[in-house]
Chain A
Amino acid sequence: MSVSRDDFSIAFRSALLQRGGAQKFSILSLIILAIFIFFLDVYGFTGIKTARSFINDVVFRVSYIASSPSRILPSAGKGLTSHFNLKEENEKLREVIENYKSLDLNLEYLTNENKNLRKVLNAENIINSKDIVLAKVLVDRNSPFLKTIIINKGTQSGIKKGMPVTQNNYLVGRIVDTNYLSSRVLLLTDLNSRIPVTLDGDSSQAILTGSGTKNPKLEYLPEEYEFKEDINVFASGKERIFIPGTPIGKTTEIGEVKLYVDPNQLSFVTVILTRNNKEKF
């Protein structure tokens, strides 16, 4: 009995404290160091925040380079396929141009109408081109637990926590972490994402909650609200972070929202430098 207890304690101690060969450090010392770093980071120690910000900037860029084969290979395949479908593509592009021409005719009229309506509504958040930052997606790691992306613009470009992120004027998410040269965007599909929204039609108010799946859900709708398909969902701007009226997606019959932008297909996004510069988090 005592021999087996001795065996256990020897094996246990050896597993924790053994060094030599490739094991330059004992597991125990590294566990203590990891716990130390974890608590410094969790409790927001200034030194570790700065260090983390610096490490983030370096690691994100290395990660971008390291991930290039996974980006280049599929696009090279697509390029090759499209090379053989040039004629078809050409016809499609002509159609698109015609479509844009007809849209362009209406644009001026709609812009003027929009300006006038905004004046009537006395909207606070009229943005201009100076208030936006175009950013490239550096890392788009499809984690099972967190739905975030890393963009190549940070505090150097005036980005702060809480700022809304869009693509083609459709809401994508918000900034949750900033470094000097990069930032992390929390996507609308993440479990931690909560956004007040307005539904087109009867202007019902709701909270758009990320569920970790492709389509976020609508919560806190009026009692006995019946879900209908294809109702436009906009940011209500009640939290004073998002621009009121930013389109998000369309409702489905089961109370989910099908987003206008596929969060897995983001290459470039726009960060809106909202005027309320006070950090939200």
Chain B
Amino acid sequence: MARLNLFNKFLNSGPLLLLYYLSISEIDTNLEKTFDIFTFNLPIIIIYFWILKRPLIMGTGHIFVAGLINDVVMGFPLGISSLSYLVVCFFSNYVRNKSVNTTIASDWFTFFIALIFANLLFFSLLNNFSDIVISYSKISYNTFFTLFLFPIFWLLFSLYQANFIGGQDA
């Protein structure tokens, strides 16, 4: 029984572990080697979906730390990824508070707004307070593919939620 509880806890922590793993490991969602322009931001999709559906499994403190780790690994100024993740977190929290029943279409639309604000904050801070130069076309591709792939991950995460976490939406 205790072993089963531990296994359930592990499954519940799956999205959080994935977020940490994406922040810390070399494995990322950038397939430039195979497809030149294909990059997307999976951590933002994870944060938005799970804060919206299951806020209990993803604490804001963890999101903040994951952002800091991501900054260290990527070489960005400390705190910038955390800020962008927290903006997504805020939008997700707000949508959860305002809506009773959400659909994939409504989530996709609100995710678009969250993504735009998060990326706008991220790149305007980077542009104004750092010497790092970033290609605007890469930002656009990244934003587009993140938005484009959201429904696919929405379905995958919903399946994960239904099979391994269970229960009603938040």
Contacts and interface: CB of A to CB of B under 8 A. Distances in A.
A47 interface: no
A97 interface: no
Looking at chain B's contact residues, the main secondary structure is helix
B74 interface: yes
B78 A41 contact: yes
Interface in A55-73: 55-56, 59-60, 62-63, 66-67, 70-71
B135 A38 contact: no
Interface string B97-141: 110000000000000000000000000010001111111001101
19 contacts: A7-B98, A11-B94, A22-B55, A22-B57, A24-B61, A31-B90, A37-B79, A38-B79, A48-B78, A63-B26, A66-B21, A70-B25, A139-B26, A141-B26, A143-B28, A143-B74, A144-B138, A192-B131, A213-B36
A27 B77 contact: no
Contacts of B82: 30, 34, 37
A interface SS class: helix
Contacts of A18: 93
Given A22-B55, A23-B59, A59 B72 contact: yes
A-B pairs with lowest CB-CB distance, top 3 = A38-B79, A144-B39, A67-B26
Interface residues of A, number: 57
B90 A15 contact: yes
B97 A11 contact: yes
A146 interface: yes
A145 B39 CA distance: 10
B58 interface: yes
A16 interface: yes
Interface of A: 7-8, 10-12, 14-16, 18, 21-27, 30-31, 33-42, 48, 52, 55-56, 59-60, 62-63, 66-67, 70-71, 139-146, 148, 176-177, 184, 191-192, 212-213, 264
Given A60-B72, A145-B132, 19 more contacts: A22-B59, A25-B64, A30-B60, A31-B83, A34-B83, A34-B86, A38-B78, A40-B78, A41-B78, A48-B78, A55-B68, A59-B69, A66-B21, A67-B26, A67-B27, A70-B26, A142-B30, A143-B28, A143-B30
B74 A140 contact: no
Contacts of B56: 21-22
Contacts of B57: 22
B122 to A, nearest CB: 10
A66 B25 CA distance: 5
Contacts of B67: 34
Contact of A142 (B32, B61, B83): B32
A239 B94 CA distance: 52
B147 interface: no
Given A15-B97, A25-B61, A52 B78 contact: yes
B27 A55 contact: no
A192 B132 contact: yes
B58 A22 contact: yes
Contacts of B129: 38-39, 42
Contacts of A212: 135, 138
Contact of A184 (B21, B75, B125): B75
Nearest to B87: A31
